[in-house]
Structure 1
Amino acid sequence: MTRPVRTPHDLTPYVLTVDAGLRDLRAADHLLRTFAAELPLTGGGFGCTHLVRGERPRVVVSLAPESGEELDDVRARLVAMAYEVTEGAPDAVGRAVLYPGADVLRGTLSIEEVLSVSAIDRVAVLGAAGRPDPSMPLVTHSHVRPLWQSGELVLTAMPAVGGTLVPFEVPDPTPCCADH
């Protein structure tokens, strides 16, 4: 049985966007982890980063708690902390940082394990047609950031040494032209 197409909005109608004026993903990830520690968010919700282009490029975060009661409490606390909070998500895409199962994606897991313990719907491998073998190992580096694509939460991975995969996004990327 295939899962129905969904977005964070389908999983919960309770979504807030927080604009903290952030300029990079690392700061947005840190803000989401801070929110997870300080706000009444259950493990079934989502926290995503979104790139905003235009006159004022920045990274905003969306929070999708599981219930309206959680949403009201989260909104009240964020407003009290002087964050700019708006209803809904900025778009239907996003890079998930907080999601069900994210906290157990540590070390090396098979693709099958990743899909069974987390909200990730599928793993796509760069340069490969079709889906990877479910038994293929994924070395997470404790940094797994899937993206919403066409209603699915998709982790993009790339081949690594020893017949393993690693998430395409690495935790500490080398800045462009770092050796110049």
Structure 2
Amino acid sequence: MTPRPTTGAPAADAAGATRPVPTQPAYGDADAPRAGSVPAPTSDSDTTRRGSTHAGTARIVGVSLGHATLAEADQWIQELVPAPVLACTHLVSEPFPHVAISLLTARSFATAPELTVAAATAAAGRFGRAVRFPGVERLIGPLTVSEILQRSSIARVEILGSGPAAPDTIVETGDFVRPQFRDGELILVTTPAAGGRLVPFETRTPTPCCADH
């Protein structure tokens, strides 16, 4: 799980090999991470309980607590202190359909024995849905595509089925941005809205038919 999400599952190989990742983000006067950058982790297939700690370098950790919905997983992630550098959700099917989580963090977490496969799947995933990432707290209100890229580690903003969005196009974020994690990059998928603006493909209140899919 290293940026550079599709809804579903970051990261590095559970066996221990890391994928190439962007370098540590540089912070300027506005404290904004460089677009597309996230600290490079070490690889770790650690899957052990919330509340335990592990000092050291940030690494990929897979966690599975059997969350039934994305909203439940999101809430768990948002309550973590300190917040992870990167947190992605992953839809897994073993041993039953649920949402597993991958984290780029220096902490350790525990997973019940029956859920370790799901946790390892999340940690090794090349695709995911990012909940926490550098700059997420700065993506509030209407922003241009260029501002989104400057303020966060999102590498690209795409229009569903139409390719990259123009830099000056305004995105109504709704204060809820969940980019996709794809092979080490964070990509925000949007759809057209009124007035020539864009909105994120995933909203805070999705329609029932699309929720958690």
Q: Report the TM-score, using the length of structure 2 for normalisation.
A: 0.66
In structure 2, what is the Cα distance between the partners aligned to 1:8 and 1:127? 26
1:92 aligned onto 2:126: yes
Cα deviation code 1:119-139 (max 9, x no counterpart): 1000110131x4211010000
Q: Secondary structure at the match of 1:170?
A: coil
Displacement of 1:51 in angstroms is 0.8
Say which SS state the counterpart of residue 51 (structure 1) adopts: strand
2:136 corresponding residue in structure 1: 102
Write 1 or 2 for the structure with the bigger share of helix: 1
Counterpart Cα distance in 2 of 1:168 and 1:119 = 18
Residue 16 of structure 1 contacts residue 62 of structure 1 at CA under 8 Å; is this kept in 2?
Answer: yes
Deviation at 1:8, TM superposition (A): 4.7
The Cα of 1:151 is off from its aligned counterpart by 2.9
1:53 and 2:93 are equivalent in the alignment: yes
Aligned-pair identity (%): 37
Aligned to 2:200: 167
Answering whether residue 10 of structure 2 is matched by residue 12 of structure 1, we say: no
Measure how far apart 1:54 and its partner are: 4.0
* Aligned-partner residue type, residue 205 of structure 2: D
Per-residue deviation at 1:89? 0.7
SS at 2:127's partner residue? coil
Count how many residue pairs are aligned between Structure 1 and Structure 2: 155
- 2:79 maps to 34
| CA distance, structure 2, for counterparts of residue 176 and residue 119 of structure 1 | 30
Q: Which runs of 5+ in 2 are unaligned?
A: 5-9, 13-20, 22-39, 43-58
Counterpart residue type for residue 98 of structure 1: R
Alignment of 1:129-168 (within 5 A): 130-168=163-201
Given candidates 123, 127, 149, the residue that maps to 2:157 is: 123
The whole-number CA distance in structure 1 between the counterparts of 2:66 and 2:11 is 23
Unaligned segments of structure 1, at least 5 residues? 66-70
TM-score calculated relative to the size of structure 1: 0.78
Residue type at the aligned position of 1:19: S
Q: Which has the higher strand share?
A: 1
CA contact (8 A) 1:50 1:90 kept: no
CA distance in 1: counterparts of 2:62 and 2:140, whole angstroms: 28
1:64 match = 104
Higher relative contact order by CA 8 Å / sep ≥ 6: 1 or 2? 2
Q: Separation in 1 of the partners of 2:135 and 2:187? A: 14
Tell me how far 1:168 sits from its aligned partner. 0.2
